[in-house]
Amino acid sequence: MATPPVEFGTIMDPVNGSIQLDKYLFKIIDRPEFQRLRKIKQLGGVCYVYPGATHTRFEHSIGVCYIASQLVDALNKNQQNIITPNEKKCIQIAALCHDLGHGPYSHLYDFAVKRHLEKENPEKLKKNERKHEYRSAELIQDVMVVVKKEFFPKNAADQKQENTWKQYIKLVQNMIKFSEIFKVS
């Protein structure tokens, strides 16, 4: 098991048990964009057929973040720290926020959005923008504002730092949209 972060919070996860997450991730978890995932079922409408299928996007996203953190720690342990601390933060944020763009009934919402956009303005509809990954990536810039000082502890606001910050945001957005960008099924 990986060593817990220096400053961490503990969550009792129904799948992974007691897990530790970096304290700064709770700044994202506490945001309304993330808290709304408590109301979105992981399995869409399946809970109407199987009443016990009530796992939420909230629980799922926290578990994905935890597993991603463990993966980064294992890679760094076995490959001599190939992932920098800030890259690890980007991976954790992408894992935590990958489902922010889900609507009610999860993937069923994507179909409803597609149908609506096709009726309203089909020529402006880009093929993939109707999917939750793109909505999640759009929300990232606003969500990441609360953790910027974790990347840049000093308050110096120079152009290089701003450019690096934009690169980190783009990295997180690309990780979230990865399966759509590279057509992974």
pLDDT digits over 14-42, tens only?
888 999 999 999 999 999 999 999 988 87
Q: What is the dihedral of CA 73, 26, 89, 176, to 10 degrees?
A: 100
Residue 15, pLDDT score: 87
Q: What is the pLDDT of residue 19?
A: 92
In the 8-state DSSP scheme, what is residue 36?
A: G
pLDDT at 128: 53
Say if residues 135 and 101 touch (Cβ distance below 8 Å): yes
Q: Which of 60, 98, 102, 132 is labelled catalytic?
A: 132
Q: Of 54, 50, 62, whose CA–CA distance to 25 is shortest?
A: 62
Q: What is the pLDDT of residue 7?
A: 82
Structure confidence at residue 12 (pLDDT): 92
Residue-level pLDDT at 185: 52
Query: Partners of 22 in the beta sheet?
Result: 8
Determine whether 60 is an active site residue: no
Q: Which CATH class is domain 8-181?
A: mainly alpha
Whether the predicted model's global pTM rises above the 0.95 cut: no
Residues of the chain with confidence (pLDDT) below 50: none
Which residues in the chain belong to E strands, given as ranges? 8-13, 17-22
Instruction: Give the side-chain half-sphere CA count within 13 A for 70.
Output: 11
Beta-bridge mates of residue 12: 18
Q: 101 phi and psi, to 5 degrees?
A: -85, 0
pLDDT value, residue 122: 64
Alpha-carbon gap, residue 28 to 35, rounded angstroms? 9
**Contact by Cβ (8 Å): 65, 95:** yes
